[in-house]
Every structure is written in C-alpha cells, then in structure tokens.
Structure 1
Amino acid sequence: MTFTAQAPEQTPGPSASSSRRRRAPSTRPRNVVVALAAGAALIAGVVFALRDDGGNGTARAADPSTPPPDAISATSRPSPSSRADSPATATGVFVTAKSSGAVIGEGSDLRRYKVQVENGTGIDPKRAAAEIAAVLADKRGWTGDGRHSFQLVSDGPSDFEVKIATPDTVDKICGAVGLDTHGEVNCDAGTQIMVNLKRWNTGSPEFSGPISGYRALIINHEVGHRIGRGHETCPGKGERAPVMMQQIYGLKGCVANEWPYDRDGEYIGGPAVP
C-alpha cells in the first residue's frame, strides 16, 4: 500500500482505454452483563486503534474505513511464511546493494533506482535487491504499460531509493519530514521509499498469500506512486483489487492482488480515489 512528504505524486487513474472494464432470556445478573458489554467495547476500541495506522496505502490516525490523507503510504500484520524476529531498532546506517542490472522494460521513461538496507536488520542487501528487481521485471509489473522502464544501479545518480529499515529508523526519517509512521508503516518521502522491516517480514492482515507476494505489493504500490499513479478502489465484488488500492484498509469485496497488470497485459484498475 505511501507516506509522501512532498506534494503527493498522485494523478488520476489510468484512462478507460488502458483500464479494465468494471465489472432465550439471560439469567445472568445485570451487573455481569454490563461488565461484559464494557469489556467488549474496550476490546473493540483497541482493535480499532490498532487498525488506524497500518496499510498498503497512507498512514494516518483517522478512521481506517475512510480514505487517508494523500500524504503517506503505508503497509501491516503477519501473513504465511513471514518472519517474526524483526528488530525494532538498529544502527541507522544504510548499506547500498552492490548490484547493478540491465534496463528492465522497453519504455522510454527510464527510472534508475538503488536498494539500501539498514545495518542490523538481518536483511541481505544483495538478496533484497534481487527480489525487488524481479518484481519490477515481471511482465505483470509496471513495464506492462509500455511507457516505463527501470534499472538497478549501485552508484551514480538515481531517481529513487528503496530503503528497508527498522521501525525506529523509518519513524525518524519519515518524522523528519513531518510524517508519523507509528513504528508500523512505510512512507514515501522525497526520493526515498521507506520500507518498514516489520511489514517486509510480516505482511498484512488483508493479504493471505506468501510473503513474497506481499513484498511485490509493497514495491508495486510504492513504485506506482513514483511514476505518478494515484490511489484506486475496488471495481466490483469478486474482482481483483488494483495494486494502487490501499488494500490494508479492507478489500471492499475485491480479492487481494499484488500486480498492476494481468498475464494478458490488461491493467487491473478501479475507480480513482479523489
């Protein structure tokens, strides 16, 4: 799902030509009942609070059933095959993956990017770079629009950086530009895509697939913002959720999906979110 420090890079969703066509009385004493009701309300309040700031969308402190502000994107909860040993803090020092690759895609709009990992996270930079490159190279990814291409670089100029960091470090970097990530979510600040280690390792409550699929959703959603895509919503019950939908806040009848295009090259879109 994108915390943005700058003016949001969101544009209306794809045009109609590139989008898919939408388709028995209780015998308990009254005081016990009251106590149970109060306890249930307290639990509901806690659950509500926990859902306030997670998601593959925009971090916020508001009702998660409504679209969040256009300032931040986010991503939240364990999914199958996820790791639970993510440290909350580390060194704050980043290592750039010493990996470079060929240009991916045939589009004329080339975006060069670096992959950087915080020391102490337990994440191997080279392996992370390979996983991210594979997501961007997939035919169901953003190169499917015929306009964009990507290249992994280890030095020299780049258009953006994908940084995997502990929750504390994400909070510090995002907080420096006025974004509150609550130790839970990702953010998009300037040219930095900040990926919260907890999300990278444990996934989201709305995504039941393997962790590799959820990581693809993180990358595709955030890179979608990098290339100017705005948020979208579910096009109809039973259809695949657009990758630019803030799926963490609920699928609204759609099925979780991590790719912007299907295997036939058709865009998996939905109505644009104002």
Structure 2
Amino acid sequence: MSRTPLVRPAPLPELPPEFAYLDEEPEPTGSRTRRRRRRVLTALFYLLLTGIVLFLGRYVRADDGDPIVVPAVPAATAGVSTEAPSAPAPASPAPHPHEAGTSGKFRSVTGYGPVLGTAGPIRRFRVVVEQPVSADAAADFADEVNRALGDPRSWIHTRKFRLQRVPMSAKAEFTVFLASARSSEEMCRKGGLETDGYTSCRLSEQVIINDDRWVGSVRGYGAPLSTYRQYVINHEVGHQFGHGHESCLGKGRRAPVMMQQTYGLKGCLANPWPYPDAARP
C-alpha cells in the first residue's frame, strides 16, 4: 500500500519592522481617542498657563504700591549720546519725587530773569518744564538754572558774554528743558542721540535735562544733589557753547565740567564749574 507523502506548508515570511505592531493586540479605538484628547487638553493647559505668566510678568508694583507697566527693552538705536557709555548705565539712586510731568507738553517760565555776568553781549535763553507742573515748581527750576549759570565760576567767568532768561515770546539762542526720562529720551533720539532714558543731552538750540537725574543724581557721585544739578546744567550748556567732552586729568584732581561725570569720575573729584579756581581744571 503506497503512502501519500506529507506536504509541509511553506513558512510564513517575516514581516518588515514597520508592520511589527500587527503582531500586537490592537488598541481599542475609544482608548486612542481618549488619549489623544488628553494630550490636546494638556497642551492647551500649558499654553494657557504660559500666556498667563507672560501677561502677569509685564506688571510689577512700585514701592508705593501703584502698578506700573514694565516696557520691553528697546532695540539698539544708532546715534551717539552726549554722555553715551561703552558699558551699561550704573544703577540710579532711590527714587525721589519728580519735579517734571510726563505729558510730553511743556510749560514755559514767564517773565525775564536777571542779567548774569558783568561784561559782553547778552545771550538769551528760555526755560520750560514738562507738564503737569505747578508754576512755582517751574520757577524753582528756572532759579536753579540761573544760579548755576550766573555763578562767577560758570561760563560767564570769561567776561566774553552775559546770559539772561527770557519768556517764550522773546527771541532766544537756546531753550533749557526739564523733561521726564521718557520724553527726554524721545527728544534726544529725534536729534540723533541715544540716551537710554538715563542721561541728559544737548541738541541744536535745545538743552534737555533728564528729570530722573535732576531729582536723583547718580549713585556714587560723591557730592550733594545741588552739586550734580550745577554740573549737569553747566555741562549741557557747555555743549551749546561749543565745548566737547574732556577726560579726568589725574586721580584726586577736579573733574573737568565737560567730563562725562554721570558715568563715573574715574578717580577725579566731582566738579560742577568750568572755572572753579579762575582757570579751567
């Protein structure tokens, strides 16, 4: 009796790796849908949380409890400041009550001031202060400008000219502004100077005094606020009269008034006068 030979089936081919999951038990459709929904909800939650953190991070509270908005850091702007540093600006002192407003509009000091100096033609200037500001506060600033420019150690020492403050209705060679940090920065930038809202500057026929520096001076200046105020007036008006920057001439010596004293004295002593001893230091 002949036997029928057994025929063995051919082995199944191996599946390529990309189809290996077919060997596993498939995940139920409902389970995949729930897992996908959880991932979407988790992503939305973190996006919402990130948005809340970024939004709240833009607001801080000042020392007096009033909320203020922290502006974004502006991109670098071309231009050279009258007192532009190569290093970051030093930290300013604790805040003081500001004397100028922040509206971008200015109040002119009325009337005529005394003639400052004893000889030479009269060079006239105006004084304006950013609003809102009281007439008394504006007049006080004008008086300090007069005291700084009318001191015998100031620019009138040469007896080549005299100075006088005049009202807005009169012709003047230049105007002295007391402006908020923000307004002074914008004004200086329009003239091609970048101050980062920190320093004062001088443009054509405009001497712009930064109110933050006027009320707070700079940390480590080593002299009273009144001295810094005399310095910043004589320094910026010195630019108006055609003087450029100068450097410290040696440790322990008086800083020239045209030195950038706002950014450090470099071993010199604070000095607000062009002619502290009847001669330039």
Pick the TM interval, shorter chain: 0.5 to 0.7
Between structure 1 and structure 2, the one with the greater Rg is 2
Whether the aligned pair in 1 keeps the contact of 2:185 and 2:197 (CA below 8 Å) is: yes
Q: Which residue of 1 aligns with 2:132?
A: 120
Query: In the TM superposition, what are the counterparts of 1:2-81 in structure 2 within 5 Å?
Result: 58-60=82-84, 62-63=86-87, 77-78=92-93
Cα 1:109–1:244 shift into 2, 3 Å: farther
CA-atom RMSD in angstroms:
2.8
Aligned to 1:98: 110
- Whether 1:223 aligns to 2:237 is yes
Question: Does residue 1:238 correspond to 2:252, yes or no?
Answer: yes
Q: Cα distance, 1:92 vs. partner?
A: 1.1
CA distances 1:103-149 after superposition (whole Å, capped 9, x unpaired): 21134243211110001256811111111101111111111122132
Listed one character per residue, the Cα deviations across residues 220-240 of structure 1 (whole Å, up to 9, x for unaligned) are: 101111111111111222111
What is the CA-CA distance between 1:207 and the residue it aligns to?
1.8
Cα contact 1:113–1:150 (8 A) shared by 2: yes
Identity of aligned residues (%): 38
Structure 1: 5+ residue runs without aligned partners? 1-56, 65-73, 269-274
Q: d(CA) in 1 for partners of 2:160 and 2:265?
A: 28
- Look up the SS of the partner of 2:124 in the other structure: strand
Report the Cα offset of residue 75 of structure 1.
11
Residue by residue over 1:159-179, the C-alpha shift from the partner in whole angstroms, topping out at 9 and shown as x without a partner, is 010100111211222222232
Change (3 A) 1:244 1:76: farther
Normalised to the residue count of structure 1, the TM-score between the two structures is 0.66
AA matched with 1:120: P
Would the aligned equivalents of 1:89 and 1:168 in 2 still touch at CA under 8 Å?
no
Q: How many residues align?
A: 201
In 2, the alpha carbon distance for the partners of 1:88 and 1:183 equals 14
| Structure with higher RCO (Cα < 8 A, 6+ apart) | 1
Q: 8 Å contact 1:76–1:185 — kept in the other structure?
A: no
Deviation at 1:259, TM superposition (A): 1.1
Give the stretch that moved more between structures: 170-179 or 198-207.
170-179
